[in-house]
């Protein structure tokens, strides 16, 4: 007897999704609650668990298809999924490690799952992993997966390719033949639903808001020194590393309190002011940029903020962020500096009215007390809706943020 697997309820006002990838192929053993497919919604990826144990039946939809909530995805045939997944005593079983590979917190969780002959099947791999396998010429059967449940990620393929020894040169190489493709190949890949939503929302923001960007720079000396002095004690007490984002989020909430229009939004002909600060933090995920929200960040300590951001980053790579964690937000902080960005003009995240862009820290000559000195400097960029926020308010906000970062004692005594 076969059990139908349907599209689960995805969240308020979400009625459809796109099938991102199949995590189980027909004939694979399936355990209860084991993910069999990944769905892409407008905000996050959602894994669909199996309601019963058994054997994977036929797929009812293909990767890239749009499915409605309640629609059938596949069937699970009756059978002992746990017994089927146990390693057989046959000699061929030695190709599969006896112990499951350890999970890597940095894994993206979008690869394939090893075992049952699926890890070396190109059709079973996610699109990004398949592309990496073809580009690097790596046999997926020899790659140890570090993603969720041991699935292969693109980073695993890249690491395997970099460690692969270069082939020995032939003793008498034949004359090189003219390349057939001349390195001008093309590949057409369908946009993920998340990428389509990002594109749509960013363009709507440009078309709706009167966007303007104001810049300033900040001397990171004091924060760097404080971090170097207390990072070991901080990690020992709180179980999380002390980074720079905790300082910036806390400083931003203080500046938002002083300049409430930067924390406000436009609703028709009304201006909505918020007496709380829900900070959206841009996080990179395998499917694109997502912005989970730190609720009531103004009431949090730096340690709590760092823990929350760390948890968001880990689960974004695993595709495990929840719908409710992506909703709302009164102000956004995007840190392009982790990728090496020197300066940018970030786009606001509607209905918010402002976004703060952080950039890389680099040593530059600056004048301090009449002397030219070398200091670690960072450019700050505040993009805002000029319909609501005046230039004076934008500059005042950046100056308040700059003062707090250059003198972190202000954050401690709430000045």
Residues sharing a CB contact under 8 Å with residue 202, sequence separation 6 or more, in sequence order: 347
Residues 284 and 322 in one domain: yes
Residues 280 and 338 in one domain: yes
Look at residues 135, 163, 191 and tell me which one is the last residue of a structural domain: 163
- Cα–Cα distance for residue pair 199/289, rounded to 1 Å: 11
Residues 215 and 353 in one domain: yes
Instruction: Examine residue 375 and state whether it is found in any structural domain, yes or no.
Output: yes
Q: Which of 84-93, 196-205, 239-248 has the highest mean pLDDT?
A: 239-248
Alpha helices in 137-216 (DSSP H): 154-163, 193-208
Instruction: Examine residue 190 and state whether it is found in any structural domain, yes or no.
Output: no
Active site residue 386: yes
Look at residues 33, 64, 86 and tell me which one is the last residue of a structural domain: 86
Number of domains forming the structure of the chain: 3
| 201-234 burial: b if 16+ Cβ within 10 Å, else e | eeeebeeebebebbebbbbbeebeebbeeeeeeb
Residues 76 and 98 in one domain: no
Residues 145 and 245 in one domain: no
The CATH number that applies at residue 79 is: 2.40.50.100
Of 57, 63, 7, 48, which Cα lies nearest the Cα of 29?
Answer: 57
Helix (H/G/I), strand (E/B), else coil: 305? helix
Residues sharing a CB contact under 8 Å with residue 25, sequence separation 6 or more, in sequence order: 56, 118, 121, 123, 124
Instruction: Examine residue 17 and state whether it is found in any structural domain, yes or no.
Output: yes
Residues 69 and 136 in one domain: no
Instruction: Examine residue 188 and state whether it is found in any structural domain, yes or no.
Output: no
Q: Are the beta carbons of 256 and 277 closer than 8 angstroms?
A: yes
Residues 34 and 119 in one domain: no
Of the pLDDT bands very low, low, confident and very high (cuts 50, 70, 90), residue 221 is very high
- The predicted-structure confidence for 284-334, as pLDDT tens digits, reads as follows 777 667 889 999 999 999 999 999 999 998 888 887 888 788 888 999 999
Q: Which of 30-34, 65-69, 212-216, 408-412 has the highest mean pLDDT?
A: 212-216
| Helix (H) / strand (E) containing 308 | helix 302-318
Work out the average pLDDT over 133-162: 74
Residues 224 and 306 in one domain: yes
- pLDDT value at 354 more than 90: yes
242: containing domain:
207-413
Instruction: Examine residue 127 and state whether it is found in any structural domain, yes or no.
Output: yes
Find residue 279's DSSP bridge partners: 294, 331
- Confidence at residue 275, expressed as pLDDT on a 0 to 100 scale: 94
Percent of the chain past pLDDT 70, that is, above it, reads 78
Q: Are the beta carbons of 193 and 17 closer than 8 angstroms?
A: yes
- Confidence at residue 131, expressed as pLDDT on a 0 to 100 scale: 63
- Cα–Cα distance for residue pair 338/378, rounded to 1 Å: 12
Terminal CA-CA length for the chain: 68
- Cα–Cα distance for residue pair 298/184, rounded to 1 Å: 52
- pLDDT value at 352 more than 80: yes
Other CB atoms within 10 Å distance of the CB of residue 180: 5
Residues 137 and 225 in one domain: no
- pTM for this prediction: 0.62
Catalytic residue among 77, 120, 386, 407: 386
Residues 215 and 300 in one domain: yes
Residues 58 and 104 in one domain: no
Look at residues 134, 163, 192 and tell me which one is the last residue of a structural domain: 163
Find residue 294's DSSP bridge partners: 279
Catalytic residue among 77, 390, 407, 414: 390
The per-residue DSSP string of 92-148 comes to GGGGS-SSPPPP-TT--S-SPPPSTT-TT-GGGS-HHHHHHHHHHT--GGGPPP-SG
Half-sphere exposure of 331 (CA within 13 A, CB side): 34
Instruction: Examine residue 174 and state whether it is found in any structural domain, yes or no.
Output: no
The CATH number that applies at residue 253 is: 3.30.559.10
Of 123, 334, 44, 346, which Cα lies nearest the Cα of 215?
Answer: 346
Instruction: Examine residue 396 and state whether it is found in any structural domain, yes or no.
Output: yes
Q: What single-letter DSSP state applies at residue 166?
A: P
- Cα–Cα distance for residue pair 359/169, rounded to 1 Å: 45
Instruction: Examine residue 286 and state whether it is found in any structural domain, yes or no.
Output: yes
Q: What is the mean pLDDT of the chain?
A: 80
Active site residue 390: yes
Residues 257 and 349 in one domain: yes
């Amino acid at each position: 007897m076969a059990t139908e697997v349907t599209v689960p309820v995805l969240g308020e006002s979400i009625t459809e999704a796109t099938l991102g990838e199949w995590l189980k192929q027909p004939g694979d053993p399936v355990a209860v609650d084991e993910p069999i497919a990944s769905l892409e919604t407008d905000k996050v990826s959602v894994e669909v668990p199996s309601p019963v144990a058994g054997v994977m039946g036929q797929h009812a939809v293909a990767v890239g298809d749009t499915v409605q909530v309640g629609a059938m995805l596949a069937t699970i045939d009756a059978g002992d999924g746990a017994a089927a997944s146990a390693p057989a005593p046959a000699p061929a079983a030695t190709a599969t490690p006896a112990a499951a590979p350890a999970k890597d917190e940095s894994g993206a969780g979008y690869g394939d799952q090893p075992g049952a002959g699926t890890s070396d099947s190109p059709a079973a791999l996610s699109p990004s992993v398949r592309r990496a396998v073809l580009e690097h010429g790596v046999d997926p059967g020899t790659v140890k997966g570090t993603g969720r449940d041991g699935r292969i990620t693109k980073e695993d393929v890249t690491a395997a390719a970099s460690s692969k020894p270069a082939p020995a040169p032939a003793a008498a190489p034949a004359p090189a033949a003219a390349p057939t493709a001349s390195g001008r190949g093309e590949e057409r890949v369908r946009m993920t639903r998340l990428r389509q939503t990002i594109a749509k929302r960013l363009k709507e923001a440009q078309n709706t808001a009167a966007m303007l960007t104001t810049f300033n720079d900040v001397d990171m000396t004091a924060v760097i020194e404080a971090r170097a002095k207390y990072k070991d004690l901080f990690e020992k007490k709180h179980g999380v590393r002390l980074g720079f984002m905790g300082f910036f989020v806390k400083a931003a909430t203080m500046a938002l309190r002083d300049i409430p229009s930067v924390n406000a939004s436009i609703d028709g002909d009304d201006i909505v002011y918020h007496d709380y600060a829900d900070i959206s933090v841009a996080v990179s995920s395998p499917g694109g940029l997502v912005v989970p929200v730190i609720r009531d960040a103004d009431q949090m300590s730096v340690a709590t903020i760092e823990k929350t951001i760390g948890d968001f980053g880990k689960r974004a790579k695993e595709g495990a962020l929840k719908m409710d964690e992506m909703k709302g937000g009164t102000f956004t902080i995007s840190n392009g500096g982790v990728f090496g960005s020197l300066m940018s003009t970030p786009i606001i995240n509607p209905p918010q009215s402002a976004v703060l862009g952080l950039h890389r820290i680099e040593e530059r000559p600056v004048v301090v007390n009449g002397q030219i000195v070398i200091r670690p400097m960072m450019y700050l960029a505040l993009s805002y809706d000029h319909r609501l926020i005046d230039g004076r308010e934008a500059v005042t906000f950046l100056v308040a943020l700059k003062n707090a970062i250059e003198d972190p004692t202000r954050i401690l005594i709430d000045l």
